[in-house]
Amino acid sequence: MNSRTPEAKEENVGANDFREALTDVRVQETCFHDRHITPQIYAGLTSAADWSIKAYEARDGYQALRRILTEGLTPEQVIAEVKASGLRGRGGAGFPTGLKWSFMPRQFPGQKYLVCNSDEGEPGTFKDRDILRYNPHIVIEGMAIAAYAMGISVGYNYIHGEIWDAYARFEEALDEARAAGYLGESIMGSAFSFQLHAFHGYGAYICGEETALLESLEGKKGQPRFKPPFPASFGLYGKPTTINNTETFAAVPWIIRNGGPKFLEVGKPNNGGTKIFSVSGDVERPGNYEIPLGTPFAKLLELAGGMRGGHKLKMVIPGGSSMPVLPAEIMMATDMDYDSIAKAGSMLGSGAVIVMNETRCAVKSLLRLSYFYYEESCGQCTPCREGTGWLWRIVDRIEHGKGTHDDLKRLGEIAENIQGRTICALGDAAAMPVKAFLKHYWSEFEHHVEHKHCMVPSYV
């Protein structure tokens, strides 16, 4: 989306690298394997046919909503349960969900909206599309419960524009839920009404940023808004709006059925429940794995079949492409939860775990990431629009043996000047990987500059 540069030749080199990275992606496994530990979202799912409402009801589906409406749980009680669960947003920032719900001005007299963020454009992340494909009703039930708790009568699920089957599946599930009386007017004979719609998005990474998503949902160009005001007071069409990630909503029915404290117990303090990790890269079995927060990384790697072809683990991006990379020795001593990963120097983000072996070059890896952020910048603010291009071109020079020591210095300075100085967090997302790769793999960058080639064996 950003303005093009005159360096067409250099640009093609980066674009080809990126395409090469895409074709290198191995087919991921779906949720139909037995390698989930105490699953909550994948519980009982055994085949592709399980997505239907009948199969979902057989797995206690819609019992949480029924309990709320028939036992007369108050909205305050529902929010208290979600707060007690320690559920943190699964979209990236890990914000406490119960707290977010309590920000909604429930007594606001006009229209309020609930939005599900199924945009899922972060490289490495592929969990939300599988939830929509194989367990769409769990999202519908979670959204209906959230709508009840916040006094909302209209909701939308914004689904990534390049993923057609998940969108079609969700539409089918909505039809089923409406026909069964779980959506619409006076649900289960109560005073609660909720209309839920699917919206097929535009396929741009930036449309996953919550305010860009709202703009896009309103039919405008998907560009982030200045904040404040935040969506809780000025959201969709300027009305109070709550936005949560697909997996966040999918966690809610289990919490209401089993109680918030039980959910918290499954994970660890401040990190309640299970989390779906999308494991990709140099592992034997890439795929989605649902495990309790706090599970050691070493266990997750084992579930994913270990390192492919007997290679050695070199580095891991533990939370999606925008998060800082961590070397093997740090990851092998770290647990997979928000606080442990933060203590180790990165972030859990969306839970996309990108595993790289000892043949991967740190410079080339960063080049791929930098090209992505350059390509996806919406262009609204100068540090991001210009800075992402500078970062990419400098890393490209270094990778191709044309970099200088000055370039190395400049890389860090530019990243520092982008971070925290932009309208949305895409600027940070472009800067953080640069800083982390330089911090942990400085010698590789230096080697590229001094010897004009890579020090990693397979590239020599």
Residues that bind ligand FMN (CB under 6 A): 89-93, 95, 100, 117, 119-122, 206, 208-210, 243-245, 248, 424-426, 429
Coil, strand, or helix at residue 347? coil
Write the DSSP string, 57-104.
HHTTTTHHHHHHHHHT--HHHHHHHHHHHT-B-TTTT--BHHHHHHHS
- Other CB atoms within a 10 A radius of the CB of residue 70 amount to 11
- Cβ-based nearer residue to ligand SF4, 184 or 379: 379
Partner whose binding site includes residue 215, from ligand SF4, ligand FMN, none (CB under 5 to 8 Å by kind): none
Three-state DSSP class for residue 124: coil
> Which residue of 152, 353, 423, 449 would you call a contact of ligand SF4, by CB under 6 A?
423
Q: Which DSSP string corresponds to 413-427?
A: HHHHHHTT-SSSTHH
423 binding partner (options ligand FMN, ligand SF4, none; Cβ < 5 to 8 Å by kind): ligand SF4
Task: With residue 395 as reference, give the H or E element that holds it.
Answer: helix 382-399
Question: Which tokens hold the place of 1?
Answer: 């989306």
The answer to whether 267 contacts ligand SF4 (rule: CB under 6 A) is: no
Which residue, 322 or 340, is less far from ligand FMN as judged by CB?
322
Quick one: which of 426, 431, 455, 456 contacts ligand SF4 (CB under 6 A)? Answer: 426
Helices (H) and strands (E) in the chain, counts: 18, 11
Residues near ligand SF4 (CB under 6 A), total? 14
Residue number of the CB closest to ligand SF4 reads 384
Out of ligand SF4, ligand FMN, none, what residue 280 binds, judged by CB under 5 to 8 A for its kind, is: none
Instruction: Determine contact, residues 432/349, Cβ cutoff 8 Å.
Output: no
Cis peptide before 318 (omega within 30 of 0): no
Residue with tokens 């492409």: 321
Instruction: Draw the binding track, 327-366, toward ligand SF4 (x: CB under 6 A; -: no contact).
Output: ----------------------------------------
- Among ligand SF4, ligand FMN, none, the one that 208 touches (CB under a kind-dependent 5 to 8 A) is ligand FMN
- Beta-carbon contacts of 254 under 8 Å, excluding residues fewer than 6 positions away, are 40, 41, 43, 64, 263, 273
Site string for ligand SF4, 383-402 (x = CB under 6 A): -xx-----------------
- Binder to ligand SF4 among 378, 391, 434, 456 (CB under 6 A)? 378
Nearest-approach distance from CB 217 to ligand SF4, in angstroms: 17
Please name every residue paired with 399 in a beta bridge, in sequence order, or none if there are none: none
- Binding of ligand SF4 at residue 427 (CB under 6 A)? yes
Min dist CB 353 to ligand FMN, Å, is 16
Least gap, CB of 281 to ligand FMN (angstroms)? 20
In whole angstroms, how close is the CB of 47 to ligand FMN at the nearest point? 27
DSSP class of residue 231 equals: T
Q: At what angle do helices 246-258 and 63-71 cross, to 10 degrees?
A: 60
Distance (Å, whole) CA 267 – CA 99:
19
B/e letters for 280-312, b = 16+ CB within 10 Å, e = fewer, are: bbbbebbbbbbbbbbbbbeebbebbebbbeebe
When CB distances are held under 5 to 8 angstroms depending on the partner's kind, the choice from ligand SF4, ligand FMN, none that residue 90 binds is ligand FMN
Q: Alpha carbon of 153 to those of 147, 193, 247: distances in Å?
A: 7, 6, 21
Q: Which of residues 216-255 bind ligand SF4 (CB under 6 A)?
A: 224
Judged by beta carbon, residue 50 or residue 119, the one nearer ligand FMN is: 119
Q: In this structure, which amino acid lies at residue 174?
A: L
As a whole number of angstroms, the distance between CA 268 and CA 130 comes to: 25
Nearer to ligand FMN, 168 or 425 (CB): 425
In the complex with ligand FMN, the residue whose CB is nearer, 93 or 180, is: 93
Tell me 261's DSSP state.
Answer: H
What minimum distance in Å lies between the beta carbon of 425 and ligand SF4? 7
Binding to ligand SF4, residues 199-218 (CB under 6 A):
206
Rounded CA-CA distance 152/145 in Å is 10
Residue 379 binds which entry of ligand SF4, ligand FMN, none, CB below 5-8 Å type-dependent: ligand SF4
Helix (H, G, I), strand (E, B) or coil at 131: helix
Q: How far is the CB of 51 from ligand SF4 (least distance, A)?
A: 34
Residue type, 340: S
264 binds, among ligand FMN, ligand SF4, none (CB under 5 to 8 A by kind): none
Nearer to ligand FMN, 210 or 215 (CB): 210
**Which residue lies nearer to ligand SF4 by CB, 336 or 384?**
384
Shortest reach from residue 152's CB to ligand FMN, in Å: 15
Reported as half-sphere exposure (CB side, CA atoms, 13 A), residue 166 has a value of 26
Q: Which residues bind ligand SF4 (CB under 6 A)?
A: 206, 224, 377-381, 384-385, 422-424, 426-427
